[in-house]
């Protein structure tokens, strides 16, 4: 059973941008072209539309990426960010952190998110959630969807968080069809965090995220359909949601399926559980 905002920071997910970042078509150096070819982030809001990007830089391309992105890093700020990606792919975290920090200082929001994740997890650097939160806030305020969702995750249960602001930012990201934002917003509606409790709205968010196979949202839809929360009760649909979520590794969904199989408990005269009957 989910309660509150789930922990776990998002390194990367495919999400529609909340804001449009204007890209001016300028002639690029050969180094910048090659840096884009091997190290561009497909989810970077500043990436030109004609640059495909790579989700993960192949090891065979790491040295090439470092070479050309380093030369191109004096140009557009995303080149410095891409240099950070190349160093991270090579396991050179000190160099990656330095490049992300320089790109973030220049206003690159995706670099802010990457640096925030590193600080929040203490990867190659001392853990610093306060600094991570500031970076996520800067990225979120600029409309970066990963900044918004990571801020929501990091702020879960924090006394210093502004849940109303987080809820509003998540709503913007959810409009961009981000399943992570939809799921997190659903949890806030479910628990009444940052505003009124609304199980109908929660179910609506979970349903949208579940349609994109978000494991947590699938589990929540199973629970909501089983109990008739925020909408009609449908045990068959609940089972299907739980099965999809369990197949994606969600432990809560696995436990729910197990409970459904063993729905009858045999007790002795004192009321003590003796065994469960499973079907």
Nearest to 140 by CA among 122, 117, 113: 113
Please name which of 217, 277, 207, 272 lies closest in space to residue 242, comparing C-alpha atoms: 217
The CA-atom distances, in angstroms, between 238 and each of 11, 104, 179, 246 are 30, 44, 19, 12
The model's pLDDT over 3-21, given as tens digits with 9 standing for 90+, comes to: 444 445 655 433 333 334 4
- Please tell me the predicted confidence (pLDDT) of residue 52: 92
Helices (H) and strands (E) in the chain, counts: 13, 2
Q: Are 154 and 133 in contact (CB under 8 A)?
A: yes
Say what the pLDDT of residue 260 is. Answer: 81
Structure tokens at 260: 């459904």
Q: Over the stretch 71-99, which tens digit does the pLDDT of each residue have?
A: 999 999 999 999 999 999 999 999 999 99
Mean pLDDT across 29-52:
94
- Position 127 pLDDT exceeds 50: yes
**Mean pLDDT value across residues 112-125:** 95
pLDDT greater at residue 169 or residue 105: 105
* The pLDDT value given to residue 143: 83
d(CA 130, CA 73): 28
Distance of CA 39 to the CA centre of its chain: 21
CA atoms within 13 A on the CB side of 121: 17
Quick one: pLDDT band at residue 43, thresholds 50, 70, 90?
confident
Q: Which residues contact 67 (CB under 8 A, 6 or more apart)?
A: none
């Amino acid at each position: 059973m989910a309660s509150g905002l789930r922990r776990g920071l998002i390194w990367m997910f495919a999400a529609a941008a909340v804001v449009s970042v204007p890209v001016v078509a300028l002639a690029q150096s050969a180094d910048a072209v090659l840096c884009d070819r091997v190290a561009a982030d497909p989810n970077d809001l500043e990436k030109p539309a004609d640059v495909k990007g790579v989700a993960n830089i192949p090891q065979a391309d790491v040295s090439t990426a470092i070479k050309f992105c380093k030369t191109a890093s004096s140009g557009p700020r995303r080149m410095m960010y891409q240099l950070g990606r190349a160093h991270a792919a090579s396991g050179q975290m000190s160099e990656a952190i330095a490049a992300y920090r320089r790109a973030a200082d220049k206003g690159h929001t995706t670099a802010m998110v990457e640096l925030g994740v590193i600080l929040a997890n203490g990867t190659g650097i001392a853990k610093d959630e306060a600094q991570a939160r500031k970076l996520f806030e800067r990225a979120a305020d600029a409309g970066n969807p990963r900044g918004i969702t990571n801020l929501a995750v990091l702020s879960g249960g924090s006394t210093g968080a502004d849940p109303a602001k987080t809820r509003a930012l998540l709503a913007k990201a959810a409009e961009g069809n981000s399943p992570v934002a939809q799921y997190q917003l659903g949890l806030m509606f479910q628990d009444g965090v940052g505003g009124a409790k609304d199980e109908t709205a929660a179910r609506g968010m979970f349903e949208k995220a579940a349609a994109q196979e978000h494991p947590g949202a699938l589990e929540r839809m199973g629970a909501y359909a089983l109990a008739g929360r925020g909408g009609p009760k449908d045990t068959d649909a609940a089972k299907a949601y739980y099965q999809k979520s369990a197949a994606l590794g969600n432990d809560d969904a696995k436990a729910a399926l197990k409970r459904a199989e063993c729905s009858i408990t045999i007790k002795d005269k004192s009321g003590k559980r003796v065994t469960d009957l499973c079907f």
